[in-house]
Homo-oligomer: A and B are copies of this chain.
Amino acid sequence: MKYFLILLFVAFVSNAQIKKEQLDLMPWPQNINLKEGVFALTKNFKVNITGNPNPRIFVGTTNFLRRLDGRTGLFLTQGFITKVNEFPDAELQINCVQNGKIGLYEDESYQLDIQSNRITINATSDLGALHALETLLQLLQNSSTSYYFPSSTITDLPRFTWRGLMIDVARHFQPVDVIKRNLDAMAALKMNVFHWHLTDDQGWRIEVKKHPKLTNMASDGSYYTQEEIKSIVKYADERGILVVPEIDVPGHASAILTAYPEIGSKMVGFSNGTSEKNMQSTALATYAIERNAGIFNPTLDPSNPKTYQLLSEIFDEVCPLFPGAYFHIGGDENEGKDWDSNPRIQDFKKKNKLVTNHDLQTYFTMKLIPMLKKHGKQLMGWEEIMTKDMSKDAIIHSWKGVNEGVPAGKSLVDAAKGGYKTVLSNGYYVDLVYGVEEHYNVDPMPKNAVLTEEEKARILGGEATMWTELVTPTTIDSRLWPRTAAIAERLWSAEDITDVNSMRKRLKTVSFRLEELGLTHIKNKAVILRNIVNNQNSDALNEFSNICEPLKKYSRNKGGTEYQMYSPFTLFADACTPDAADALEFEIAVNRYLENKSVENNDLVSSFFKKWIATNTSLINLSLNAPLVQPILPLSKSLSDLSQQLLLTIENKQAPNSSLLNDLLEQCNSKDHADVELAVYSSLKKLIGVLKQ
């Protein structure tokens, strides 16, 4: 019997010769060579580490074992790995030549060789070895009864050295566990820079022991202690991730000025006289933590020496918490209104021959460079800091594009040509809740610009940005993942890896696997839906959510005042995500039907309409005991009405009534309900367009 099983297994294995297209690797490696045979995983599978690695590889390999455990239920016997060469005969051998340093330009390459009886990882350092372990986990395959790795050789290294994710923890504070699980997700996608937007108008989120007023007065009690910062930096380090802190100055300053109004630029209190004292005492009452979203006036006073003293003291405490070589000082969206209206600042400009507010901001920013240099830190800022007098040491963070009235990523090219190192975020604003394709198609290396090799080398990479005006700890994962994985691939993989269909297929598996790291993008959707239906059966609402997407760009939360930063986002739009699952399915169905009106394709399209009609009925029933369902009904009714007409039409029971269909279609194009839009609108429009002919 045993012999028979072995034969069966061999038979299975040779039949199962896997093809590259079947692998759900992301980011796709630079070189992959599949061979015949497999490495079969057993409970006694063991790992051995050799060379001179940083101890982070022990943590990473132990975590690797536990993730294999979780997926396979094998519960491998090997426990914690704490030193090199513990099991010289282990099946998986990891060799790291040297200790990896967290930072840019490190050699992150690895070689992974899987043979039927042995797996070998060779890497310059533990950083590459960690990447190799992620690739190995993604390679795991299964039959109906067992798990295996396909025999193969992979050599891999990143295309860009800066593969970043920014999280804004000021708008909505994100607790330690949220950050940690997202660091896990980043590492799983081979991302290596976590940019931590720690301050903004809506809150100061980092403890500064010398200035407890910052968190006492400007954080609502939601901030990271220095010990928590250290714990996150360590966690990131263990995952090969550099942490770049951001303290955003001189604009976005409502929070810092709530604690220190005396360094604000606002000119007030003339009615009480113009003495310094009166002005300041009035100013004290003027700043407050911002509760809305938008661009606000509170700005630091660049003419006030106290401004630099405070910032210098803050940097003295904050810099040592972050061992990395980069410090982001923001510098964005300073409209200078309070500078313009403050005669003292105007005087200061004249005195210092600063013509524009840009010049004044550059004056300000240049003062920060030595403060940071003192701690071995290079200054980085949003593109607004790039003026003619800005030091070439500064790294320019390119973020503006068509939405801001300039060509996409223009500043990136300007920076590279101007001699600055630069990082692209335009096109990677995942908070805008665009579909994944929008981001996947954006390459940090500009296609329309002619750049020298030297200029190209200044383009460090890219960074997804997660601004959190509309995002809570409950929903942030679904706003980040899985889409950010596609950006990670853009930043790691070869330039010609651009097949959207392949990416979408692989992304499904990536999304599923992120759950094993504790990511909540799937499970928290169910939580929100359960709350909306008031603990009734949420299947119908889930169906509807699969064709709805939250309003894109910043069209939700009109004027930035419809919701406040303390509003918990537990609405239907918060359960919905970009890339609505059924919208793509419906698009495929419509295209098939339009190509060939076979019975089968007719049935396929009809099944959607029938489902949406039934969903609408269910939602009406649910709404009887669920007020939160009410705002969804108008849109659901529109779709149901249109579905009924379309059913009659495609079942040939009724000739297409062009004007009725158009009216109903346009009702489905509404963005007035529940902060969502129907993601099937364009497919419906296409279908109706043809039907009317």
Rounded to whole angstroms, the CA-CA distance of A625 and B567 in the bound complex is: 43
Among B59, B144, B225, which residue has its beta carbon within 8 angstroms of that of A625?
A: B144
Which stretch (A460-468, A516-524, A598-606, A664-672) binds chain B?
A: A516-524
Contact of A524 among B225, B523, B535 (CB under 8 A): B523
Contact of A531 among B71, B145, B567 (CB under 8 A): B71
A626 touches B73 (CB 8 A): no
**Beta-carbon contacts under 8 Å, A471-518 to B:** 474, 508-509, 512, 515-516, 518
Chain B min CB distance to A540 (Å): 15
Report how many residues on chain A are interfacial, defined by Cβ distance under 8 Å: 57
Pair B515/A72 contact, Cβ less than 8 Å: no
Q: Tell whether A648 is near chain B: CB-to-CB under 8 Å.
A: no
From A221, A518, A625, A627, residue with most partner B Cβ within 10 Å = A627
A633 to chain B, nearest CB (A): 11
- Residues of chain B contacted by A522 (CB below 8 angstroms): 526-527, 530
Give Cα distance in the complex from A344 to B220, angstroms. Answer: 59
B-facing residues in A566-586 (Cβ within 8 Å) = 566-568, 570-571
User: Quick one: given A142-B534, A227-B225, are A73 and B570 in contact (CB under 8 Å)?
Assistant: yes
Per the bound structure, the CA–CA distance linking A212 and B526 in Å amounts to 43
A570 cross-chain contacts in B, Cβ below 8 A: 69-71, 73
* A71 smallest CB distance to B (angstroms): 7
Q: Given the known A-B contacts A176-B177, A227-B225, A570-B70, are A624 and B144 also in contact in the complex, defined by CB atoms under 8 Å?
A: yes
Question: Would A69 and B627 be within 8 Å (CB), given that A75-B563, A80-B220 are in contact?
Answer: no
In the complex, the chain B residue whose C-beta lies closest to that of A674 is B73
Is A564 in contact with chain B by the CB < 8 A criterion? yes
Instruction: Indicate whether A566 sits within 8 Å of B523 (C-beta atoms), given known contacts A625-B144, A627-B72.
Output: no
Complex alpha-carbon distance, A170 and B249, angstroms: 45
A410 at the interface (CB under 8 A from B): no
Q: A146-B627, A177-B176, A220-B80 are in contact. Are A515 and B531 (CB under 8 A)?
A: yes
For A610-624 the 0/1 string (1 means CB < 8 A from B) is 000000000000011
Q: Restricting to A212-231, which residues have a CB under 8 Å from any CB of B?
A: 220-221, 225, 227, 231
Q: Which residues of B contact A176 (CB under 8 A)?
A: 176-177
In the assembled complex, the Cα of A568 lies from the Cα of B74 at a distance in Å of 10
Question: Chain B's nearest CB lies how many Å from the CB of A605?
Answer: 22
Question: Are B527's CB and A73's CB within 8 A?
Answer: no
Is A69 within 8 A of B534, CB to CB? no
Q: Given A526-B523, A530-B522, A568 and B70 touching (CB < 8 A)?
A: yes
- Across the interface, do A79 and B142 meet the contact criterion of CB distance under 8 Å? no
A176 to B69, CA, bound (A): 24
A101 on the interface (CB 8 Å rule)? no
Q: Which of chain B's residues have a CB closer than 8 A to the CB of A523?
A: 520, 523-524, 526-527
Would A627 and B144 count as touching, CB distance under 8 A?
Answer: yes
Nearest B residue to A516, CB-CB: B531
A630 with B145, Cβ < 8 A, contacts A512-B535, A523-B527 known: yes
Instruction: Check A66 for interface membership: any CB of B closer than 8 A.
Output: yes
Q: How far is the CB of A145 from chain B (nearest CB, A)?
A: 5
> Are B515's CB and A566's CB within 8 A?
no
In the bound complex, CA of A257 to CA of B503 (Å):
52
Contact A515 B530 (CB under 8 A): yes
Answer whether residue A118 sits at the interface, using C-beta atoms and an 8 A cutoff: no
Alpha-carbon distance between A535 and B505 when the two chains are bound, in angstroms: 13
Determine if A137 is an interface residue (Cβ-Cβ < 8 Å): no
In the complex, whether A291 has a CB less than 8 A from a CB of chain B is: yes
Out of B143, B220, B221, B630, name the residue touching A144 (CB < 8 Å): B630
Please name all residues of chain B whose beta carbon is closer than 8 Å to the beta carbon of A221 when the two chains form the complex.
59
B-side contacts of A88, CB under 8 Å: none
Measured CA separation A227–B69 after assembly (Å) = 32
**Is A175 part of the contact surface with B, judged by Cβ < 8 Å?**
yes
Asked if A147 is at the interface (CB within 8 A of a chain B CB), the reply is yes
- Could you tell me the distance in whole angstroms from the C-beta of A13 to the nearest C-beta in chain B? 15
Q: Is B566 a contact partner of A531 (Cβ separation < 8 A)?
A: no
CA distance in complex: A79, B220 (Å): 10
Collect the chain B residues with CB atoms within 8 Å of residue A626's CB: 142, 144
Minimum Cβ distance to chain B for residue A524 (Å): 7
CA distance A585 to B570 in the complex (A): 31
In the assembled complex, the Cα of A231 lies from the Cα of B563 at a distance in Å of 30
B-side contacts of A564, CB under 8 Å: 75, 77, 79
The proximity string for A residues 345-360 relative to B, scoring 1 for CB distances below 8 Å and 0 otherwise, is: 0000000000000000
A628 CB-CB contact with B under 8 Å: yes
Measured in the bound complex, the distance between the Cα atoms of B70 and A535 in whole Å is 14
Q: Which 5 interchain pairs have the tightest Cβ spacing?
A: A523-B523, A75-B567, A177-B177, A512-B535, A70-B568
Sample 18 A-B pairs with CB under 8 A, ordered by A number: A66-B568, A69-B570, A73-B570, A73-B627, A73-B628, A75-B564, A75-B567, A142-B625, A144-B623, A146-B627, A147-B627, A176-B176, A176-B177, A177-B177, A227-B227, A512-B535, A523-B523, A523-B526
Known contacts A143-B627, A144-B627, then 16 further A-B pairs from the complex at CB < 8 Å, ordered by chain A residue: A69-B570, A70-B531, A73-B571, A75-B564, A75-B567, A75-B568, A142-B625, A144-B623, A144-B625, A146-B627, A176-B176, A508-B535, A512-B535, A522-B527, A523-B523, A523-B524
